Chains A and B, each alone.
Chain A
Amino acid sequence: MTLATTRWVGSLTLMAALGMPGIALAEYPEQPITYTIPFDPGGESDVTARFQEPHLEEILGVDVNVNHRPGGGGAVGWSEFQSNAEPTGYEMIGVNIPHIIAQPIMRENAGYETDNWKIVTFFHTTPNALIVPKDSQFETLDDLVQYAKENPQAVTLGGSGTFSANHLGALRLEREAGIDVTYIPFTGTGPLPAAVQGNHVSGIFNYSMLGVQMQDNARVLAVASEERVPALPDVPTFKELGYDIVGGAYRGVAVPKGTPDEIVNTLEEAFAKTNERIAEKQEPLGFVMTDITDGEVDEVMQQLKSAYQPILEEAKANQ
């Protein structure tokens, strides 16, 4: 423990002192890689990075140091990365959709741009899930939609953050079903289970993981994935129920623009292999593993941008 702390503090000091210079040589990688998570420890991004760390180290043969640069819903870490990181392959950062699409649109100066880096891969998605209390009057999604039609704004849906994956999911439900619900932002996923179990909200729009976690104490009405989530086999998708809502958070990793292709490929492979190894542990928690790379990254980005942009711009106009 003490040893670890010393090593960790030591490496931080070293980084601060040397500004982490990195020279990309033929046999990449040959020095420790910094893997920045722009969120607090304990969240989904962090937990995933902790899963990945030992496998990445084994595959790449060098130390992978996970560190945190939280703040502003990820924006602080991202803006710092885009302005400071060197394209050497020794600095990478976790990226999340829709955050990197929504923040630059909604904020006057988020400090970074949606496309100003090279996204190596999106390694998993966590689809949105609509969860209601166990004793809720809503047995199915239709019950909820019906009630919301008769009582505009009366249905309150909690979720993590504003213009986050959860919020955008709720907004898309409103559009698709032609209803008007009240979205209540909470700070992070932490307070949401209490909000559901204490009946402080009618339901919550959160990720599939929480649905898995709360199976005993709540009811999951629907998940926003293309196919049913393996960990929640009995829960229908929104698509099955007739609403074209597919979305949630995509998590991946990016390196600075201009990083040589062979380095990006090495990282792609390392993450793909890591994914295979940790799938067994992550899938039961409600994660949906993906291996989105190269052209597919742009495709996904385009598709989600066109889905979210009109919603975001309308919201911005109303602000």
Chain B
Amino acid sequence: MDMLLEALFSILTLEGLATILCGVTAGLFIGALPGLTATMALAVLLPFTFTMSPLQGLMALGAVYMGAIYGGAFTAILINTPGTPSSIATTFDGYPMARQGRAYEALAAATIASVVGGIIGVAFLLLLAPPLARLAVVFGPAEMFWVALLGLTLVASLSSGSLLKGLLGGCIGMLLSTIGVSPIGGETRFIFGIPALQGGIELIVALIGLFVIPELISMAAQGRGALPESGKLQGGAGSAIMRMGRHIFGKPINLIRSCIIGQIIAIIPGAGGNVTSLVAYNEARRFSRDPSSFGKGNVDGVIASESSNNVMVAGSMVPLLTLGIPGAPPDAIILGVLLMHGLRPGLDLFTETGVLTNGFILSMGFAAMFLLPVGLLGGRLIHRVVVKTPFYFLLPSIAMVTILGTYALRNSMTDVFIMMLLGSVGYFLRLIGIQAAPIVLGMILGVIAEKGYVQTMLTAVVDPIPWLRLLANPLSIVLACLVVLSVATTLLPGWLERSGRMAKVDSDEEKTS
């Protein structure tokens, strides 16, 4: 407790708070730029922390991380482009809301959800790190396989309208994920003799291509901006914030569920923020009284996505600080910083160097709180720019930023070409009803599923029936059941509806919620 107080005092200095404020602001803008991810923001910042004291350096990194994950929501809502992969799910309802002229409401909801998520993540980390850490190592290859499959069932709910098209999109994504050197085994696949393709298709490149380019083409085709002109605030910004605050805290069950999902997935090594928000979104939809309104501008979708991905920021530090296991890609950089300052992950980190560790954790809490003013102000600014700028300026600007972002990601022209190609193909796929989301989902989860499956099969090489190893322990059985259940709950209503028993479905869903 003393350490906690001491840590608190070491943050509550002008220098400390200024560091956090700058970090959050910088992170926010980096996160909002497609192509510049949280991982990259941290990597760029890294050399600057060498000159700072360990605590100040960690505070800066934590703040940038928090800001970047949140910043992704801006572009997700305003121009249908996830700024970071962890805000993919935010586009599903955020952008439809924006198109209905409720952009600022969506931004306010995202901000409040992010702040609450960020603080809850810090609370989990402070209070429950040791028991949660034990959970982190339970997820082995077999469990990861099932987690990935669970995520893939989301395809069914994302494909409002045609299940077939959704599945088709998912398959395209999974196929795209196989390009390059295989994660297990090291064979090169589908590179057509082009050495540059050995690196595969980077997720962010596909993300930018599939989300931004089709949106830009359709804006150009229709001669419109990202948001309708009428997208002015109804009753001013203040009332939008109040309304969203009341909505979120009036029925907190969605927020609580999303935060818990966020925390659990955050500690699974290798899943990370990309998956947290998708799963939280899917569950919000499943438990909603009105699932069909999701994807058409239901603010609960934005809340689920944004709260869960900000829980992940501090939440993924649980396995990192206690066991040295990075829960999400940006954590690997934080681990590097810890090691550089001679701090070895483990429980000693909380006792011997407790002031530093607690200071770092608390600073993330402060960073989350700073999101509120920075986000709401920055949100108004960016919102105004996007609404007021004529589309013939907005469009080329977005195009240029995305191209630069894509190039900067791996310093690769190949990536820029891939992005453009996927974008153009994506536009036509969208015209025939195959959306970007299932494709990207397939790309993210295809790799996780492949790794999990192959590793499990390798481990089971001496077993008489190797694939039984996939169900060898209780957790994987539970996860497998969840997959079956998830498929059933998404397919059953549609099937029952067709056989004319719709009324019964409603009562069924009541029971499960």
Contacts and interface: CB of A to CB of B under 8 A. Distances in A.
Contact of A217 (B43, B141, B346): B346
A53 B458 CA distance: 41
Contact of A76 (B198, B324, B404): B198
A69 B199 CA distance: 9
A185 B459 contact: no
Contact of B407 (A12, A213, A281): A12
B342 A197 contact: no
B14 to A, nearest CB: 18
Contacts of A41: 39-40, 42-43, 46, 332-333
Contact of A185 (B185, B196, B270, B346): B185
A47 B181 CA distance: 24
* Most A CB within 10 A of own CB, among B136, B195, B459: B195
Task: Report the contact-size class of chain B (Cβ under 8 Å from the partner).
Answer: 35 or more
B199 A67 contact: no
Contacts of A198: 136-140
Given A42-B329, A187-B451, A4 B45 contact: yes
Given A4-B44, A79-B196, A190 B459 contact: no
A65 to B, nearest CB: 11
B140 A213 contact: no
Interface in A195-252: 195, 197-198, 200-201, 212-217
A42 B336 contact: yes
Contact of A50 (B46, B183, B348, B410): B46
A1 B198 contact: no
Interface stretch (B22-30, B352-360, B369-377): B22-30
Interface string B198-234: 1110100000000000000000000000000000000
A9 B43 contact: no
Interface string A278-304: 000100110000000000000000000
Nearest to A12: B408
A257 interface: no
A149 B333 CA distance: 40
A230 to B, nearest CB: 15
B344 A54 contact: no
B229 to A, nearest CB: 32
B455 interface: yes
A285 B339 contact: yes
Nearest to A43: B332
Contact of A71 (B180, B319, B323): B180
Contact of A213 (B50, B188, B324): B324
B410 A162 contact: no
Interface residues of A, number: 70
Contacts of A306: none
A1 B411 contact: no
A70 interface: yes
A interface SS class: mixed
B48 A191 contact: no
Given A50-B47, A185-B184, A69 B198 contact: no
Nearest to A154: B462
B64 A53 contact: no
Nearest to A80: B196
A162 B319 CA distance: 26
B335 interface: yes
Contacts of B336: 42, 46-47, 50
B47 A54 contact: yes
Given A4-B44, A42-B336, A194-B139, A156 B458 contact: yes
A72 B199 contact: yes
B411 A69 contact: yes
A212 B64 CA distance: 29
A305 to B, nearest CB: 19
Contact of A107 (B44, B48, B188, B458): B188
B193 interface: yes
Contact of A13 (B323, B404, B410): B404
A68 B188 contact: no
Interface in B382-414: 404, 407-408, 410-412
A281 to B, nearest CB: 7
Contacts of A12: 407-408, 411
A106 B188 CA distance: 10
B44 A8 contact: yes
Contact of B404 (A9, A68, A110, A153): A9
B410 A191 contact: no
A75 B323 contact: no
A54 B186 contact: no
Contacts of B319: 194
B466 to A, nearest CB: 11
Contact of A186 (B325, B340, B455): B455
A163 B270 CA distance: 22
A46 B47 CA distance: 11
B26 A71 contact: no
Contact of B459 (A16, A47, A156): A156
Nearest to B338: A213
B245 interface: no
Contacts of B451: 186-187
Contacts of B193: 109
B326 interface: yes
B198 A217 contact: no
A194 B22 contact: no
Interface in A14-68: 16, 36, 40-43, 46-47, 50-51, 53-54, 67-68
A154 B196 CA distance: 38
Nearest to A71: B199
B455 A184 contact: yes
A76 B197 CA distance: 8
Contacts of A5: 26, 30, 44
Nearest to B458: A184
B345 interface: yes
Contact of A42 (B64, B180, B198, B332): B332
A111 B196 CA distance: 8
A212 B338 CA distance: 14
B461 interface: yes
B365 interface: no
B470 to A, nearest CB: 13
A71 B198 CA distance: 6
A282 B195 CA distance: 33
19 contacts: A5-B26, A12-B411, A40-B332, A42-B329, A42-B335, A67-B411, A70-B410, A71-B200, A72-B200, A152-B462, A156-B459, A162-B185, A185-B455, A186-B455, A191-B270, A193-B324, A194-B139, A217-B324, A285-B339
Given A76-B199, A153-B461, A186-B451, 11 more contacts: A4-B44, A71-B180, A106-B186, A107-B198, A109-B188, A109-B191, A110-B198, A112-B195, A154-B462, A216-B348, A281-B340
Instruction: Please provide the 4 A-B residue pairs with the shortest distance between their CB atoms, ordered closest to farther.
Output: A71-B199, A111-B195, A72-B198, A162-B186
